[in-house]
Amino acid sequence: MGSKKKRAEKKKDFQKTKLRVGKTAARPDNYTDTSFTAKSISLPNQTIAKPKQGATTNNGGDVDLAHHLQLVKHHSASTRKEVLAFIEAHLPSNSASYKQILTVTLSLLTDQSESVRSAFVSLLSACADRQPGFLQLHMRSIVLFVHSAMSHIRGDVRATSTQALDILITKAASSLVSGFLVKTLRSFFSLLSWTLSDDKKAVSLAVNTTASLGGVTKKTRARHLAVLARLLQATLFVDDSEKSGTDWTRCSVVHPQTPQFMIPQNPQAFAQLKLFVEELPSQRASSGASGNGTYTLSDVDAVSTEDIETRRKVIEDVFLSPLRKNLVATSKDGGEVGAEASKCLQILDKFEGELKAQRAEE
Share above pLDDT 70 across residues of the chain, in percent, rounded to a whole number: 76
Residue 250 has pLDDT above 80, yes or no: no
CB-CB contact of 169 with 234 (8 Å): yes
Rounded Cα–Cα distance for residues 2 and 151 (Å): 90
Share above pLDDT 90 across residues of the chain, in percent, rounded to a whole number: 45
**Which of 111 and 12 is assigned the larger pLDDT?**
111
**Which of 320 and 293 is assigned the larger pLDDT?**
320
CB-CB contact of 210 with 193 (8 Å): yes
pLDDT interval class at 129 (50, 70, 90): very high
pLDDT interval class at 46 (50, 70, 90): low
pLDDT interval class at 166 (50, 70, 90): very high
Question: Which of 147-156, 197-206, 212-221, 303-312 has the highest mean predicted lDDT (pLDDT)?
Answer: 147-156
Kindly write down the DSSP assignment for every residue of 139-155, as one continuous string: HHHHHHHHHHHHT-SSH
Q: 0.75 cut: is pTM over it?
A: no
Across residues 146-174, what is the average pLDDT? 94
pLDDT interval class at 207 (50, 70, 90): very low
Residue 208 has pLDDT above 50, yes or no: no
Rounded Cα–Cα distance for residues 231 and 145 (Å): 18
pLDDT tens, position by position, 52-65? 544 555 555 567 78
In the chain, the largest separation of any two C-alpha atoms, in whole Å, equals: 133
Rounded Cα–Cα distance for residues 182 and 187 (Å): 9
- Give CB contacts under 8 A, 24+ apart, made by 36-42: none
Question: Which of 189-203, 215-229, 232-246, 263-277 has the highest mean predicted lDDT (pLDDT)?
Answer: 215-229
**Which of 97 and 38 is assigned the larger pLDDT?**
97
Look at residue 103 and give its three-state secondary structure. Answer: helix
Look at residue 63 and give its three-state secondary structure. Answer: strand
pLDDT computed for residue 261 by the predictor: 77
pLDDT computed for residue 307 by the predictor: 83
**Which of 172 and 276 is assigned the larger pLDDT?**
172
Q: Which amino acid is at 167?
A: I
**Which of 29 and 340 is assigned the larger pLDDT?**
340
Residue 287 has pLDDT above 60, yes or no: no
pLDDT tens, position by position, 86-115? 999 999 988 888 999 999 999 999 999 999
pLDDT computed for residue 171 by the predictor: 93
**Which of 70 and 277 is assigned the larger pLDDT?**
70
pLDDT computed for residue 56 by the predictor: 55
The average confidence (pLDDT) of the chain is 81
pLDDT computed for residue 304 by the predictor: 80
Rounded Cα–Cα distance for residues 254 and 194 (Å): 49
pLDDT computed for residue 333 by the predictor: 86
CB-CB contact of 326 with 210 (8 Å): no
pLDDT computed for residue 228 by the predictor: 96
